[in-house]
Amino acid sequence: MKTLKTNRIFQGDCIAIMESLPEKSVDMVFADPPYNLQLGGDLHRPNNTRVDGVDDAWDKFASFAEYDDFTRRWLAAARRVLKDDGTLWVIGSYHNIFRVGASLQDMGYWMLNDVVWRKTNPMPNFRGRRFTNAHETLIWVAKSESSKYTFNYESMKELNEGLQMRSDWTLPLCTGAERLKDAEGAKVHPTQKPESLLYRVIMASTNPGDVVLDPFFGTGTTGAAAKKLGRKWIGIEREQDYIDAARTRINSVEEISDTSLLVTPSKRSEPRVPFGNLVERGMLKPGDVLYDPRGKAVAKVKADGTIVSAEHKGSIHKVGAAIQGAPSCNGWTFWHFKTGDQMVAIDLLRQKLRAEMAGKELN
């Protein structure tokens, strides 16, 4: 009978190494596999600086079929080491996550949630040809439909100021001091995940003393978060540079007992409401007429949330300022609409919309 050695990094291929570990010995697997990005040539920012993209060999696959084959093999190995009541998390982007999700279902894993990591500070879309890619997707599965999996509902609720934790998590990228750099100041790993993400994953789905395994360990974010939270960990990684960085990093981590310290306070400030939202939601229609407070100047609402007057066009604030010859203008209080023979400021509509959203804009 093999015993499981924890709190260590195994170097090598994650499939072979997982196959060598005792079966049904791990409580949770967190996996951040290659995304199979398929990037083309260089990408430059509008200021002509070059984006330092992911071009590592480990992210290259010849075809979807090859990627699927790789996915199924590591998922099978993970399934073997996972306890029957254990769960597994995978993170990915639209390049790979749909394939991973379908494979998970095909292999008998039972989906519990898909969770969206909303990035507060994503990289913009520099060419203006798509929506800003501002999120990544995590899939959380149990080993089977009948698993008695761990979910720390109360902890999650506390973490979210007394409201149920939702399936969308708003967290920043890993930057600044948290981001590991080499001697030359270059990032050690191209896609280091923020520890805050792993805190939440580990706290939600494991208990203190549980074993967390990460088959794509990289620079050890999973190990660092697990140690902080009093969980045991196992990392598997091929690259020596990543392993060195992870060892140093995890050695310097101190366990914390007071997990309330991990709470990331949610923003309670009033949500910003773009004027266009009123139009989208039918509170105002394209073609509706807006009036200045005296009912003289007029402007028409456009479908995209801008407005046009006889001489100006742009946002409610811009056109309001231009009409008054003022440097700035609060369009919300300047512009009015007619309802019956009353004139009402459009700010009323904003207040209405905020009231609908009140208490519901979590995170």
Contacts (CB under 7 A) with DNA, residues 167-196: 172-177, 179, 187, 190-192
Of 26, 28, 29, 34, the one binding DNA (CB under 7 A) is 34
Please identify, among the stretches 73-81, 163-171, 181-189, 338-346, the one whose residues bind a second copy according to the rule CB under 8 A: 163-171
Which of DNA, a second copy, none does residue 356 bind to, with CB < 5 to 8 Å depending on kind? a second copy
> Which does residue 182 touch among a second copy, DNA, none (CB within 5 to 8 A, set by kind)?
none
E-only strand ranges, 52-131: 82-92, 110-119
Partner interacting with residue 131 (select from a second copy, DNA, none; CB below 5-8 Å by kind): a second copy
Q: Which of residues 120-139 bind a second copy (CB under 8 A)?
A: 120-122, 124-125, 128-135, 137, 139
Cβ closer to a second copy: 6 or 277?
277
Using the rule CB under 8 A, is 351 a contact of a second copy?
no
- Residue 334: how many CA atoms within 13 Å on its side-chain side? 20
By CB under 8 A, is residue 297 in contact with a second copy? no
Supply the angle between the helices 221-228 and 195-205 in degrees, to the nearest 10. Answer: 50
Considering only CA atoms, which of 196, 238, 236 is closest in space to residue 217? Answer: 236
Q: Is 265 in the site for DNA (CB under 7 A)?
A: no
Q: How far apart are the C-alpha atoms of 144 and 300, rounded to whole Å?
A: 57
Give residues 16-35 in contact with a second copy (rule: CB under 8 A).
none
Interacting positions 36-55 with DNA (CB under 7 A): 36-49, 51-54
Size of interface with DNA, in residues (CB under 7 A)? 83
Rule CB under 8 A: say whether 305 interacts with a second copy.
yes
Query: Could you give the string, one character per residue 291-320, with x where binding to DNA holds by CB under 7 A and - elsewhere?
Result: -----------------------xxxxx--
Binding to a second copy (CB under 8 A): which residues in 137-156?
A: 137, 139-140, 145-146, 151-156
**Do residues 85 and 138 lie in contact, with contact meaning Cβ atoms separated by under 8 Å?**
no
Of 80, 118, 179, 312, the one binding a second copy (CB under 8 A) is 118
Spell out the residues 6+ positions from residue 145 whose beta carbon is closer than 8 angstroms to its own: 110
Q: Is 307 within 8 Å of 284 (Cβ atoms)?
A: no
Please tell me the distance from the alpha carbon of residue 291 to that of residue 346, in angstroms, as a whole number. Answer: 10
CB atoms within 10 A of CB 145: 9
> Which of a second copy, DNA, none has residue 343 at its interface (CB below 5 to 8 Å by kind)?
none
Given a contact cutoff of 8 angstroms between Cβ atoms, the answer to whether 120 and 38 are in contact is no
141, HSE (Cβ side, Cα atoms, 13 Å): 24
DSSP 259: G
Measured N-to-C along each axis, helices 240-251 and 221-228 cross at an angle, to the nearest 10 degrees, of: 20
Kindly identify the residues of this chain, within the stretch 31-70, that bind a second copy according to CB under 8 A: 41-42, 44, 48, 55, 57, 60-61, 64
272 binds a second copy (CB under 8 A): yes
Alpha carbons 336 and 347: distance in angstroms, whole number: 8
